Amino acid sequence: MVSKMAEGNLILDEIMRRRSGKAFSSRPIEKDKIQSILEAGRWAPSCSNTQAWQFVVLEDKDILSEAHEALSRGNAWGKRAPLMVLVTAKEDGGCPSHGLPYFMMDVGLSVQNMLLQAVHVGLMGHPTAGWDEKQLKKITGVPEDYRIVTVVFFGYEGNMDSLDERTRTKEMKKSTRRPLDETVHWNKW
């Protein structure tokens, strides 16, 4: 399904509905939906098809509880999500061309696929950057030569009243984007 934007462009509905929400329900996610999110991540493009990513899926309540201790205070809202996915990669695990960190782009493409698939199956996903990498590695056994590039929470949307006032206020703001003419340069900068 496609949504028609004001500018007349046709955009996939999942792209327009995707948002990094913070009000998660603790309702468990069905296994087939989790599998579909992971499959979507697996099918992302990657430089030279290296598929540099590895996913550590946390759904066990005890392991989640332990992993929650590694979150920054600003990500406390993520503790309500029933699924936490650590997206990892080796820094040299991607395409070796030109000495660029392609593994980061590969992981980003994979995460975007997962986020869009989550919307497609009626879920919400939120990638984060606030956590203690060493602590998460110790809890989950991620090898030392891997980096945890992002931690993504997935779940059903919950009640906004579960959020603290500051987070709820931020959550209620409508998502906006800069106009294309501020970000696109045709033929020259």
58-73 tens-digit pLDDT: 999 999 999 999 999 9
Predicted local distance difference test score (pLDDT) of residue 4:
53
Per-residue pLDDT band for 129 (boundaries 50, 70, 90) equals very high
Per-residue pLDDT band for 163 (boundaries 50, 70, 90) equals confident
User: How many whole angstroms separate alpha carbon 108 and alpha carbon 137?
Assistant: 20
Per-residue pLDDT band for 3 (boundaries 50, 70, 90) equals low
Lowest mean pLDDT among 60-64, 86-90, 174-178: 174-178
User: How many whole angstroms separate alpha carbon 112 and alpha carbon 75?
Assistant: 20
Strands 53-58 and 2-4: unpaired
90-121 tens-digit pLDDT: 987 777 767 778 888 899 999 999 999 999 99
Tokens standing for residue 15:
């792209």
Tokens standing for residue 93:
């695990």
Q: Which CATH number fits domain 21-172: 3.40.50.300, 3.40.190.80, 3.40.30.10, 3.40.109.10?
A: 3.40.109.10
User: How many whole angstroms separate alpha carbon 109 and alpha carbon 25?
Assistant: 26
Angle (CA) 158 162 165, round 5°: 125
